[in-house]
Structure 1
Amino acid sequence: MNTHQQTTNEAHVTARELFGEHVSSFRQYLVGHNYVTNTVQQYMRCVGALAATMKADGIAVGELNEALVLDLVDRQGWPEGRHYYAVTIAKRFVRFLHDRGVGQLPPPPTEKEIARKELRKEYESYLRRQRGLSESTIFGCWHQANRFLEYRFGEEAGDLSKITATDIIDFLQHVTGRKPPVRNKTVSTHLRSFFRFLFQTKRNGANLAKGIPSVAQCYGKRLPVHLTSEQTEVLVDAVRGNKPTSRRNHAMVLLLARLGLRPQEVIRIQVDDIDWRAGEIVIRGKGGRHDRLPLPTDVGEAIVEYIRNDRVTESRTLFVSNHAPHKPFKNAEVLNTVLVKAFAKSGLTPPIPYTCTHILRHSLATNLVRQGASLDEVSNLLRHRSQTTTMLYARMDVDGLRSIALPWPGEGGAQ
């Protein structure tokens, strides 16, 4: 037995002595959530290291809390690349112990935390039931509301009835006036929603939402950024590979390219949304809308290949993380990462400085218009609520625009 293995075994013994049956329970918890053997072993090594440090410092299990565990991990000398994972594992183990009544429980919430938690619960319920917003939009609404409350009240719970229009203007100047300037244009929209809620629930006597300005959006001269049909195929092919995630990523990108789905719509797809006999798929769109679309053959084949070879989860969500416990994605950031790597691999230059996951949606619509599809057809495919949104792509129909353009006035023709 080498020195490293002996040290590891001693750490495991120390962990069992210090934490008792909770060590084996934690291992069973990990296995039950589909963690692979190597990951479980890594978790147990970190638990053993934590136990050895606690024993050396004379710290009892009853004293353990998240703040203390961070200090203990910092003193264990983990390499920079492993320190983050050691902290994550130790915190998860401490929460596991707390759930079983072991260790030092977190301090009781402050008056501010109680007030914010109750406000968030009621506000999110309002957005979900009365506005019908998606979970990602609800998260964004509360994020901006909480940013404002932190700016206005600091560590105090705060009296919502004392918020004035001047407070909102100061906050907007604080957010938008920083360097580099903020790119998020939803701040005003989310704040308007929040203050409309405060007025309706009589937390503030004035409807401050009416005084929040809209962010100027100069789209008059902009054409939709897009790839040609050939470039789209090159990008889709670049996603293919030998990595375990390649089949999943290829299926997701095909859904973007062939059906023009929004990124959030891709990660919301459930296994039960696919009707294999009819060759259709249900799309969970914006505002709680469900639409049925035909499932292209190559997309269906890519999904089948992913399900048969790589998909391991108890979730009914179609696309899940490759890492245990194989949960659904919290947001669509994974698709942005996939496209960034695909652009780099293919050698294509993105038509804009940063990679946008909507690029394939815009490309599909633009190429259809150039091939003669009507705006009604494009609107139906993209599932736009208003055809005004689809009119953006009319600018790409050069032949159609020529037919309605007036002749350039000749000499003496313009008065």
Structure 2
Amino acid sequence: MIRELLPTAYARHLSLPLLGPILDDFDDWLVLQGYRFNSRQCYLLRCTAIDAYFRKRHRTTLASLTPEGLRKCSQYFRRRPGGISNTVGCLQRFFQDQKIVAAQIPRADTPFEAPVAAYLRYLSEVRGLSRSTIEQHEHTVWQLLRYQLASDITFRLADFTQAHIERFIVYAGSRYGRSTLQHVVSDVRGFLRFLALRSEVPPGLDQQIDTPRAYRLEHLPRALSWDTVTALLESIDRKCASGVRDYAIFLLIGTYGLRGCDIASLRLDDIDWHAGEIHINQSKTRHPLTLPLTDPVATALIAYLQEARPRASYREIFLTAIAPTRPITRQAPGYAYRFRVRQSGLVIPYQGVHCLRHSYAAHLLHEGVPLKTIGDLLGHRSTESTCVYLRLDHEELREVALPLPAIGEEVIS
């Protein structure tokens, strides 16, 4: 209740002409979103300035507020101190959730909205690609189209030529490495083939793009020594809620070699406490995986669920540590990994959380676990994927190395 937050000023805030009648409901909503006492207090205090902003612009009823008006309000306060702009955004989410103000309707400010939407439906319904793969295609396609618009505001799909494609690939090549550029070229080719089938671009454009040369297995998997993995886990400060959560996340990856996306999608129903099992629905392969629930992992999960997890109705296990409370995204383990590496002070050259998965595989191999077992634990569909880690076992490789001839010794062919 607002009376508890502002014991001496609640009457003045409730009397605000525009926002006063909904402040109690707004505070209740903030509680449900996981905002703490001090944050709620600040947000309600800032509503005075927001109310004054709209009254100066003759917005005297909630019905007169629009998504565009709220956007302009946020921009106005963004250039001013006090953090009011963030409160405007939070207030807008509350309005939309309570159906007080309509959701922002994406503006079709380019002529490409319809063909891109059709292409995404094609990738989902015809090609059956996963959501994450479709999102990557969408990102690349919009990069391609916005690059063309930046050069020529009147650009249309029918204007595509080989020169347009080449300029974009050169631009992408200045930003990405060869491996990533391969994916970019593949995404562009797929989009051009789709448009050619609809007669929206000249046919054959997709065949005029050269793929950057990248040799298979030219790089070793990025793996840390197991001592470094252990030191990273021990360096996490578990006195705060985010530390308890991050420790549980990285322990799961270090114990089972899970992907970051699998961690984000892990749900409370996936833990079978009585059977001592954890069920993983792999986002990449879409194959279910059942693993034994080890005591250290169970202890870390219980500590998070009892002590650090925000009170919320979500079934996903891992939630954001700060409000608004919601399930973590698939990118969150990567962000947390980079933060914890900086905090640890350890010399860790790899910036991706996936290196912990590689480290787990290399550790199992060093312990003598058979390749087939490692592949099953990692959820690999092919033993070829697991054999990559053989290249990390340097001691075993030394035993099969051929002797080099001495200097001056004749080599018999």
User: In the alignment, what sits opposite 1:249?
Assistant: 246
**Partner in structure 1 of residue 291 of structure 2:** 293
Match of residue 276 from structure 1? 273
Query: Are positions 1:78 and 2:81 aligned together?
Result: yes
Match of 1:39 in 2: 39
Map of 2:100 onto structure 1: 100
Query: Structure 1 residues 31, 348: CA separation in 2 closer, same or farther (over 3 Å shift)?
Result: closer
- The answer to whether the Cα contact below 8 Å between 1:26 and 1:93 also exists between their aligned partners in 2 is yes
Deviation at 1:320, TM superposition (A): 0.9
Shift of 1:259: 0.7
Q: 2:222 aligns with which of 199, 222, 225?
A: 225
Q: Which residue of 2 aligns with 1:306?
A: 304
Correspondence for 1:327:
326
TM-score (norm 1): 0.81
SS across alignment from 1:288: coil
Do 1:46 and 1:89's aligned partners in 2 also have CA atoms closer than 8 Å?
no
Distance 2:204 2:305 in 1: 51
Contact 2:257 2:356 (C-alpha < 8 Å) held by counterparts? yes
The count of aligned residue pairs is: 398
Q: Against the structure 1 CA distance between its residues 399 and 231, is the aligned structure 2 distance closer, same or farther, given a 3 Å change threshold? A: closer
CA contact (8 A) 1:193 1:209 kept: yes
Residue 3 of structure 2 is matched in structure 1 by none
- The alpha-carbon deviation at position 261 of structure 1 amounts to 1.0
How far apart are residue 51 of structure 1 and its match? Answer: 0.9
- How many angstroms does 1:255 deviate by? 1.0
Aligned runs of 1:186-225 on 2, under 5 Å? 186-200=183-197, 203-204=200-201, 206=203, 208-218=205-215, 222-225=219-222
- What are the Cα deviations for residues 6-37 of structure 1, in whole angstroms up to 9, with x where unaligned? 9965862453x124634444334333444334
TM-superposition CA deviations, 1:359-412 (whole Å, max 9, x none) = 211111112222223332322222223333323211223454345443434622
- Judge conservation of contact 2:15–2:21 (CA < 8 Å) in 1: no
- 1:339 is matched with 337
**Closer, same or farther: CA 196–320 of 1 in aligned 2, 3 Å:** farther
Rounded to whole Å, the distance in 1 between the matches of 2:322 and 2:144 is 35
Hey, what's the Cα distance between the residues in 2 that align with 1:20 and 1:255?
Answer: 47
Alpha-carbon offset, residue 126 of structure 1: 2.9
Provide the residue aligned with 2:54 in structure 1: 54
State the secondary structure of the residue aligned to 1:359.
helix
Unaligned 5+ runs, structure 2: 1-5
Cα distance, 1:58 vs. partner?
5.1
| Closer, same or farther: CA 216–386 of 1 in aligned 2, 3 Å | farther
Comparing 378-387 and 212-221, the one that deviates more: 212-221
Structure 1 residue 145 displacement after superposition: 0.4
Could you say if the C-alpha distance between residues 101 and 310 of structure 1 is closer, same or farther in structure 2, counting changes exceeding 3 Å?
Answer: closer
Cα distance, 1:83 vs. partner? 5.2
CA contact (8 A) 1:263 1:357 kept: yes
* 68, 91, 99: which one aligns with 2:72: 68
Alpha-carbon distance change, 133 to 315 in structure 1, aligned in 2, over 3 angstroms: farther
Q: Please say if residues 364 and 374 of structure 2, whose CA atoms lie closer than 8 Å, have aligned partners that are also in contact.
A: yes
8 Å CA contact 1:134–1:287 kept in 2: the answer is no
Does the C-alpha gap of structure 1 residues 96 and 372 become closer, same or farther in structure 2, counting only changes over 3 Å?
closer
CA distance, structure 1, for counterparts of residue 96 and residue 116 of structure 2? 23
Cα drift, residue 169 of structure 1: 1.4
Q: How many Å apart are 1:258 and its aligned residue?
A: 0.8
- Matched-pair identity in %: 27
1:149 paired residue number: 145
Distance 1:108 1:271 in 2: 34
| Secondary structure at the counterpart of residue 291 of structure 1 | strand
Spell out, residue by residue over 1:306-344, the C-alpha distance to the aligned partner (whole angstroms, 9 max, x if none).
Answer: 112222221111111122342112332x32333234333
Is contact 1:321-1:327 (8 Å) kept? yes
Deviation at 1:207, TM superposition (A): 5.1
Partner SS state of residue 41, structure 1: helix
Deviations 1:245-288 (A, max 9, x none): 22211110011111111111111111112222222222222042
Aligned-partner residue type, residue 315 of structure 1 = Y
Distance 1:293 1:107 in 2: 44
Change (3 A) 1:393 1:314: same
- Compute the RMSD of aligned alpha carbons: 3.4
Q: Which residue of 2 aligns with 1:165?
A: 162
State the partner residue of 1:393: 389
Letter in 1 for 2:346: L
Q: Is the 8 A contact 2:70 2:88 kept in 1?
A: no
